Structure 1
Amino acid sequence: MFQGRARRQEYWYFFLFNIVIAIALGMLDGILDTPGTPESGLLSTLYSLAILVPSIAVGVRRLHDSGRKGWWMLIGLLPLIGALVLLYFFIQDSQPGSNEYGANPKENNNESGQISM
């Protein structure tokens, strides 16, 4: 789960999908008036807990794709600065060729006839 590399496309689609689901669950929490904190209801909280580990895993693999260790995810614990640093890392292009975390997923897709973005 934490090994390998994740392209920008994989990371940002994962992020977008989860934001859409979180918004929908938040609205559903409001409609159903589910118990929970004022910021999030029961459904939103359960979903957030369910995607916690997969979110960390895709972030680590995205860092691997740019040639960084997964431990850089901990910089996100710093208020504002950490989030900005991680955003910068996540928007960078893949490290060309293979690195210590595996082959470049972009180059592997091109060999199978798929178009990379």
Structure 2
Amino acid sequence: MHYYFDVLKKYAVFGGRARCREYWMFTLFSTVIGVALAIIDFAVGSQPWIELVYAVPTFLPTLGVTVRRLHDSGHRGWWVLIGLIPIAGFICLLVMLSADSEQQTNAYGPNPKAVPVEDAHFA
């Protein structure tokens, strides 16, 4: 759950890199919350106002973590716009978001998976 709140704390941070786990855990929690709110909207019988009240404030954090995830796999953040192309664009974006991190430091910062030497424990 801390992944979800960590992304919300970085509300509009588009620089840097985001680990695959950070992105997918945020996406999972956000999707579960969205589905639960959609069910509540349906049960109440209203328009999707409750879901909209959640979606609007979480738009920028979602965009931010998506851009940082693209940076982590070595792509520019503008590639997020390819998702606007129906089907093929979504699939292409999904592949880029699922790609493994670049192991070395790239133009967007150091690898967030890297363990600092002083924290490494050798057997």
Structure 2 length normalisation: TM-score?
Answer: 0.82
What is the alpha-carbon distance in structure 1 between the residues aligned to residue 119 and residue 59 of structure 2? 32
Please state whether the residue corresponding to 2:33 is helix, strand or coil. Answer: helix
Match of 1:19 in 2: 31
- 1:2 equivalent to 2:14? Answer yes
The residue aligned with 2:104 is: 97
| Secondary structure, aligned partner of 2:56 | helix
Which residue of 2 is the match for residue 67 of structure 1? 74
Q: TM-score scaled by structure 1? A: 0.86
- Deviations along 1:46-104, one digit per CA (max 9) or x if unpaired, are 21111111111111000000111100001111111110001000111000111110010
Please, which runs of 5 or more residues in structure 1 have no aligned partner? none
The alpha carbon displacement at 1:31 in A equals 1.9
1:30–1:67 CA distance, 2 compared to 1 (3 A): same
Number of the residue aligned with 1:86: 93
Q: Distance in 1 between matches of 2:114 and 2:50?
A: 39
Provide structure 2 residue ranges, at least 5 long, that are not aligned to the other structure. Answer: 1-12
Structure 2 residue corresponding to 1:48, chosen from 52, 55, 68? 55
Q: Give the corresponding residue for 2:40.
A: 28
Give the CA RMSD over aligned residues: 1.8
Counterpart of 2:41, as a letter, is: D
